[in-house]
Amino acid sequence: MAEDKPRGPILEAVDIYKTYEDGNTRVEVLKGVDLAVEQGRIVAIIGPSGVGKSTLLHILGLLDSPTSGRLVYQGRDITNLKDRQRASLRASDWGFIFQMFHLLPDLNAWENVMLPALVGPGIFGRSMPRRQALKRSEEILDRVGLGGRLLHRPNQLSGGEKQRVAIARALMNSPKIIFCDEPTGNLDPKTSQEIFQLILDYNQTYRQTFVLITHEHHLAAQADAVYRMDDGRLRPAELTASAIAADNKMD
């Protein structure tokens, strides 16, 4: 990892609790989670299925709200933003990469990538003019190795290519943080490493901040900081070779 990355938290979660209630049933998913994400770093969160990793990621990305606790972004408390403010912040400052890609099937790679720029808070609901969006979309797709697949629709792309399109889309509005929920979960081992290497390259070259959930601990071990979620609590994790082998058996 590069040694000259800027330091200091860009996003902080403070004593986050999340409880779901269904009739008389009360499930406490997050139990006082604290997390400081430093700018320009890759933060990986590991742990068994069903322990609250995705719930935490969704709260950090303002896709869900905590039952209690605070979220602080660039020194500003964003916990209680209104829906419109939350949507505006997600569109302007953050990017999202999901396990299932979530590409629009009727749009080609070029159009899928530039879509975030056309639904922003700017003039006529755009964060940039269409001509500029077309150019930037093409440039990013070229950077992720898909310069020759601009006009291909999702059903004409492999799983790894779809995820590259999803990464390019997440980068479209030059986000300050990208949230990744199992970005390599649907890919074979070789393609998983290629996709993760793309994340590493963007982190090192552009000082892009990533927060990612993964079950692949050999990939998580390449992050700047690794945390393990267990029983609704988050703790620092040290992924030695033996720990990776043991964790993979558990998960």
Query: Over 96-160, what HEC string results?
Result: EEECCCCCCCCCCHHHHHHHHHHCCCCHHHCCCCHHHHHHHHHHHHHHCCCCCCCCCCHHHCCHH
- Given a cut of 90, is residue 161 above it in pLDDT? yes
The predicted-structure confidence for 131-152, as pLDDT tens digits, reads as follows 888 999 999 999 999 999 999 9
The predicted-structure confidence for 74-105, as pLDDT tens digits, reads as follows 999 999 999 999 988 998 899 999 988 999 99
Distance CA 50, CA 61 (A): 19
Structure tokens at 198: 């793309």
Q: Is the dihedral of CA 63, 65, 69, 72 positive or negative?
A: positive
Average pLDDT (43-68) is 94
Which amino acid would we find at residue 50? G
Find where tokens 């998913």 sit: 29
- Given a cut of 80, is residue 5 above it in pLDDT? no
- Given a cut of 60, is residue 154 above it in pLDDT? yes
Q: The whole model's pTM is what? A: 0.89
Output the CA–CA distances (angstroms, integers) from residue 38 to 5, 7, 77, 135, in the order listed.
9, 6, 16, 31
- Given a cut of 70, is residue 53 above it in pLDDT? yes
Domain ranges of the chain: 40-55+83-250
In this prediction, residue 123 has a pLDDT band, given cuts at 50, 70 and 90, of very low
Distance CA 243, CA 245 (A): 5
Structure tokens at 147: 């310069």
CATH 3.40.50.300 assigned to 40-55+83-250: yes
Please give the pLDDT value at position 248. 53
Query: Which residues fall within 8 angstroms of residue 22, CB to CB, at 6 or more apart?
Result: none
Distance CA 147, CA 131 (A): 17
In this prediction, residue 43 has a pLDDT band, given cuts at 50, 70 and 90, of very high
Return the percentage of the chain with pLDDT > 90, whole number: 72
- Given a cut of 80, is residue 113 above it in pLDDT? yes
Tally of residues, the chain: 251
Distance CA 140, CA 134 (A): 10
In this prediction, residue 239 has a pLDDT band, given cuts at 50, 70 and 90, of confident
Average pLDDT (108-130) is 77
